[in-house]
Amino acid sequence: MKKKIEGNKITILLHFLAWVVIIGIPLYYIRRWPFGKDFIWINYLNTLISGMIFYVNYLILVPGLFFRTKRYRYYLSVLALIVLFYFVSDIANKKAFSFVTEKARSGQVDIKPEERGRMMPPPPGGLRLRFPSRHIYLFNYGFNSVFLIFFSLGLRVFERNSKIEKLQKETEQEKLRSELAFLKSQISPHFFFNTLNNIYSLISINAEDSKKAVLKLSKLMRYLLYESEQGTPRLSTEIDFMQNYIDLMKLRMSDKVDLSVDFPEVFDDVSIPPLLFVPYIENAFKHGISYREKSFIAIRLEQEGQLLKFTCKNSIIAPAARGENREGPGIGLENAAKRLNLLFPSRHELKISKTDKVFEVFVQIDIQ
């Protein structure tokens, strides 16, 4: 509402400035004529008529008829408007010229002092001013009226299209925010569910480590509930979150898992959307480690200028070897890809490769 009021104020100001220019330029030259002061108010009269033609079309006919696809009625109304104001203008200008002519005949015309010495004495009976010929007046009036009609129509159509385009962008942005919020709302419970499963498995192995795991989980959930909801956290806090999650997952890892983590120590602490890379790390721990056979996870994050490059590799372990009966639905990777498309539509690269034994994800983001 506030933006709409501000927009209306700007429109009114622009219209006001435009009419100041339209009135001011002719006024500047008319005042320099020998009889300029007597013709100033005729200029005001013609400007008033032009303004009425412009705003009747701009405010009434275009939105009331043209935009409602009542084109036939609109064209008839425009024609009637031009004819009506032609007669009004004709009568008003004739009256004005008659008034000035009478002043000229009676010698009451206001002539500038600097012009008096250069002017010939008036003829007997005083000066005579003639109204422009009917053809010239009709041509001038017709040209000005048609110009005002087309200009007001074009301006109104441009403003309407701009408003529609702005509304579409706002709608798309709102839709984007809703989709992102929905995807994020899915990722967080998905993450929480998998983490609780890991802690549950850890309880039967090591009760002391399970206590540490619950403490680490509380820190992770604090980040999910508070910091990530504030908007776009810093890269440093996102790295801390990933490291805490990895530390939590390490509590239930066996010696058969080869884990490699490489996060940058020096980096530009930019703002990034939360949980961009976590689903891929989560997927690696869920599907890439085993207690019965050797497995590995390799995680790497690097920053090159405005580019963030994330790589996550893991071995592919069958559900039976992971101690699971079946493969889960796995909505995490799908939602992560959707978020990347929404957040960085033309500024990201996602590559997922899979062989019989290795699953690899590569994500590159332009954070400029």
The alpha carbon dihedral of 328, 330, 331, 334 has a sign of: negative
The alpha carbon dihedral of 296, 301, 304, 306 has a sign of: positive
Parallel/antiparallel/unpaired status of strands 358-366 and 307-315:
antiparallel
The pLDDT of residue 230 is 64
The pLDDT of residue 23 is 67
Residue 278 DSSP SS3: helix
Give pLDDT tens digits for 40-56.
667 777 788 888 888 99
d(CA 362, CA 344): 15
The pLDDT of residue 348 is 93
CB atoms within 10 A of CB 119: 11
Residue at token pair 């250069």: 118
pTM for this model (two decimals): 0.53
Are 339 and 180 in contact, with CB atoms under 8 Å apart?
A: yes
pLDDT at 21 over 80: no
The pLDDT of residue 190 is 57
- Between residues 235 and 275, which one has the greater pLDDT? 235
The pLDDT of residue 120 is 46
Quick one: how many helices (H) and strands (E) in the chain? 9, 5
Give pLDDT tens digits for 292-343.
889 999 999 999 988 999 999 999 887 755 555 445 545 678 888 888 888 8
Give pLDDT tens digits for 172-224.
776 666 665 655 555 556 566 666 666 666 666 666 666 677 777 777 777 76
pLDDT at 117 over 50: no
